[in-house]
């Protein structure tokens, strides 16, 4: 009795599967009928699709909701079979063959899942779910004029962009990859991005105020990370300039090691390269400015104590190299004196007001003497106890020249010069409103000749005595 029942159930099941599973619904599939469902209906795994099947499953998606389709396929397009998903933007995704598992998403208002076969061997199974985006996903509102930092991050395909501040009342206007490529703008002052796939993308989005970026002829962001050497060929023929925001994802220092103007693409009289802190949106002023000069290379390496800054290139073609090494050897290069060298030392707080003003650098060469020149360009001491100190002198002696600034009122707009093997410039303090900008130069003291003369003298003396 039991066995018979079991058999009849099986037969009925088989019958139902043949007849019912791949019927084509002639109605819109909506969340009202249930937020979760399967295709083919009442199945739980890969199912053989009948030959000459041609069915479009139409989904109706409410504002603020999204459709998630998790699809398994085992099929062959060469046999004339085709399975496609068309999202709300009308973009058709042909499901890959031969055997795949893939997730597809669509936002409001509609999506179509289309199965078309000629053969009787293809298989598929899909689970669909209507998802309340507002409830389930954290929303990020960004300001306008988003640019991507990498040309190829396939994960950007998986991030949806909504035009406006929420996903319910606003249109999904594209996937992030496309949105960035087409430089779409928002009809509101903000966009919302949603990453349904919950995979972390390596890209950084830099949101800029459009009015700040549009003043440049070109705007790009360059993303790097620690221990990278990034070389760029940048060109701009306008006075407006091309702006490049450099970002280090996991470090706080750039060593700018090379700046070369290319003669053929540079208008020498008009060319200059500006560096400003942070991004154009922050509307910061210029902190470094280089133009064509025969002694240009003596300005490098130059330390930029920030994880982000913007370089603006005017009337020139340039080659630049920036190094984000955190190794001892790159620090040593920065701290090595050489004849004719110039540079500027900044508190990190000048580049990013969220960072500390403190720094300490000792430029040193035990084998050579230098004339060190120091100009305190600016100093702001916001808290009593903070201080800027400058020491120069011979190493291994306490007899160095010493100057300490303990308040804004310390007379600082005077150039100081002194001889020695080392120059130490440091700022001690934690108040983020404090800062110091100190420029320096170095000139090797030509004691070699004096020493030689000295030797000659003794040699002569010795020779005379001996004689």
Ligand X SMILES: *[C@@H]1O[C@H](CO)[C@@H](O)[C@H](O)[C@H]1NC(C)=O
Which of 53, 188, 210, 235 lies at the binding interface for ligand X (CB under 6 A)?
188
DSSP result, 168-184: TTS-EEEEHHHHHHTT-
Q: Which is nearer to ligand X, 167 or 381 (CB)?
A: 167
Q: Which stretch binds ligand X (CB under 6 A): 19-27, 61-69, 188-196, 335-343?
A: 188-196
Name, in order, each residue with C-beta under 8 angstroms of 408's C-beta and a sequence gap of 6 or more. Answer: 379, 380, 381
> Least distance from C-beta 288 to ligand X, angstroms?
9
Q: Tell which residue, 373, 391, 399, has the closest CA to residue 427.
A: 391
**Nearest residue to 315 via CA among 255, 357, 270:** 270
Please pick, from the candidates 8, 139, 185, 189, the single residue that binds ligand X as defined by CB under 6 A.
189
Size of the site for ligand X (CB under 6 A): 23
Contact between 427 and 394 (Cβ < 8 Å): no
Distance, in Å, from the CA atom of 384 to the CA atom of 41, rounded to the nearest integer, reads 75
Residue 399 found at the interface with ligand X (CB under 6 A): yes
CB of 404 to ligand X, least distance (A): 18
Site string for ligand X, 85-104 (x = CB under 6 A): -------x-x----------
What is the C-alpha to C-alpha distance for residues 199 and 320, in angstroms, rounded to an integer? Answer: 34
**Least distance to ligand X, CB of residue 443, Å:** 17
Instruction: Compare residues 223 and 271 and give the one whose CB is closer to ligand X.
Output: 271
* Residue least distant from ligand X (Cβ): 165
| 240, two tokens | 């407006």
- The answer, yes or no, to whether the previous bond of 109 is cis (omega within 30 of 0) is yes
* CB nearer ligand X, residue 123 or residue 331: 123
The site string for ligand X over 313-352 (x = CB under 6 A, - otherwise) reads: ----------------------------------------
> Three-class SS of residue 85?
strand
Task: Select the span of 127-135, 158-166, 248-256, 302-310 touching ligand X (CB under 6 A).
Answer: 158-166
Residue found by looking up tokens 């496609």 in the block? 84
The residues in 283-312 that bind ligand X, with binding defined as CB under 6 A, are 283, 285-286, 289, 291
- Per-residue contact track with ligand X, 200 to 239, x per CB under 6 A? ----------------------------------------
Query: Shortest gap between Cβ of 385 and ligand X (angstroms)?
Result: 29
- Three-class SS string for 364-417? ECCCCCEEEEEEEEEEECCCCCCEEEEEEECCCCCCCEEEEECCCCCCCCCEEE
Among the residue ranges 21-29, 78-86, 104-112, 216-224, the one whose residues contact ligand X (CB under 6 A): 78-86
Nearer to ligand X, 399 or 449 (CB): 399
Residue 141 interacts with ligand X (CB under 6 A): yes or no: yes
Which stretch in 6-14, 102-110, 282-290, 343-351 sits in contact with ligand X by CB under 6 A? 282-290
- Write the burial class of residue 217 (CB in 10 Å: 0-12 exposed, 13-18 middle, 19+ buried): middle
Query: Pattern 254-273, binding to ligand X, x per CB under 6 A?
Result: ------------------x-
- Is-contact 145 207, C-beta < 8 A? yes
Q: Which stretch binds ligand X (CB under 6 A): 74-82, 249-257, 366-374, 438-446?
A: 74-82
The number of beta carbons lying within 10 Å of the beta carbon of residue 174 is 20
Distance CA 312, CA 10 (A): 74
Neighbours of 252 (CB within 10 A): 17
Question: Using CB under 6 A, which of 164, 174, 357, 420 touches ligand X?
Answer: 164
* Binding residue for ligand X, selected from 77, 321, 331, 439, defined by CB under 6 A: 77
Stretch that binds ligand X, among 149-157, 162-170, 304-312, 345-353 (CB under 6 A): 162-170
Spatial separation of the C-alpha atoms in residues 25 and 39, rounded to whole Å: 11
- Residue 65: which of 164, 170, 179 has the closest Cα? 170
Residue 165 binds ligand X (CB under 6 A)? yes
**Nearer CB in complex with ligand X: 155/287:** 287
Query: To the nearest whole angstrom, how small is the minimum distance from the Cβ of residue 79 to ligand X?
Result: 9
Output 203 or 277, the one with its CB closest to ligand X.
Answer: 277
Phi (first) and psi of residue 108, to 5 degrees: -65, 155
Q: Which tokens go with 129?
A: 């779910």
Phi, psi dihedrals of residue 331, rounded to the nearest 5°: -65, -40
Rounded to 5°, the CA angle 423-428-432 comes to 130
Binding site for ligand X (CB under 6 A): 77, 80, 82, 84, 92, 94, 120, 141, 164-166, 170, 188-190, 272, 274, 283, 285-286, 289, 291, 399
């Amino acid at each position: 009795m039991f066995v018979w029942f079991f058999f009849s159930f099986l037969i009925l099941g088989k019958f139902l599967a043949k007849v019912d599973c791949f019927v084509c619904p002639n109605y819109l599939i909506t969340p009202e009928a249930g937020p979760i469902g399967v295709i083919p209906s009442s199945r739980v795994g890969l199912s053989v699709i009948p030959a000459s099947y041609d069915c479009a499953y139409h989904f109706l998606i409410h504002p603020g909701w999204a459709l998630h389709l998790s699809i398994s396929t085992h099929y062959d397009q060469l046999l004339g079979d085709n399975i496609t998903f068309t999202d709300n933007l009308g973009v058709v995704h042909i499901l890959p063959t031969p055997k795949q598992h893939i997730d597809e998403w669509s936002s409001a208002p509609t999506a179509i899942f289309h199965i078309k076969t000629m053969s009787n061997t293809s298989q598929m199974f899909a689970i669909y779910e209507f998802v309340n985006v507002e409830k389930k996903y954290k929303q990020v509102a960004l300001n306008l004029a988003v640019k991507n930092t990498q040309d190829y991050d396939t994960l950007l395909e998986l991030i949806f962009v909504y035009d406006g501040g929420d996903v319910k009342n606003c249109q999904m206007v594209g996937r992030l990859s496309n949105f960035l490529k087409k430089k779409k703008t928002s009809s509101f002052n903000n966009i919302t991005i949603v990453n349904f796939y919950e995979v972390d993308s390596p890209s950084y989005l830099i949101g800029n105020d459009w009015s700040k970026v549009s003043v440049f002829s070109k705007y790009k962001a360059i993303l790097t990370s620690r221990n990278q050497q990034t070389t760029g060929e940048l060109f701009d023929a306008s006075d407006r300039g091309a702006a490049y925001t450099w970002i280090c994802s996991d470090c706080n220092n750039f060593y700018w090691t090379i700046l070369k103007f290319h003669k053929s693409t540079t208008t020498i009289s008009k060319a200059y390269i500006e560096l400003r802190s942070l991004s154009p949106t922050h509307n910061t002023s210029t902190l470094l400015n280089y133009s064509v000069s025969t002694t240009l290379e003596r300005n490098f390496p130059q330390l930029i104590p920030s994880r982000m800054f913007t370089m603006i290139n005017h009337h020139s073609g340039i080659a630049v190299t920036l190094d984000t090494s955190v190794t001892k050897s790159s620090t040593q290069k920065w701290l090595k004196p050489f004849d004719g060298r110039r540079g500027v030392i900044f508190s990190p707080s000048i580049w990013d007001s969220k960072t500390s003003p403190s720094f300490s650098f000792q430029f040193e060469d035990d084998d050579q003497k230098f004339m060190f020149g120091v100009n305190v360009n600016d100093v702001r001491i916001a808290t009593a106890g903070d201080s800027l100190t400058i020491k120069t002198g011979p190493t291994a002696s306490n007899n160095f020249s010493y100057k300490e600034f303990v308040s804004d009122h310390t007379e600082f707009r005077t150039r100081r010069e002194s001889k020695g093997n080392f120059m130490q410039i440091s700022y001690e303090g934690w108040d983020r409103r404090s800062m110091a900008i100190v420029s320096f130069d170095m000139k090797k003291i030509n004691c070699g000749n004096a020493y030689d003369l000295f030797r000659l003298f003794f040699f002569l003396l010795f020779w005379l005595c001996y004689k």
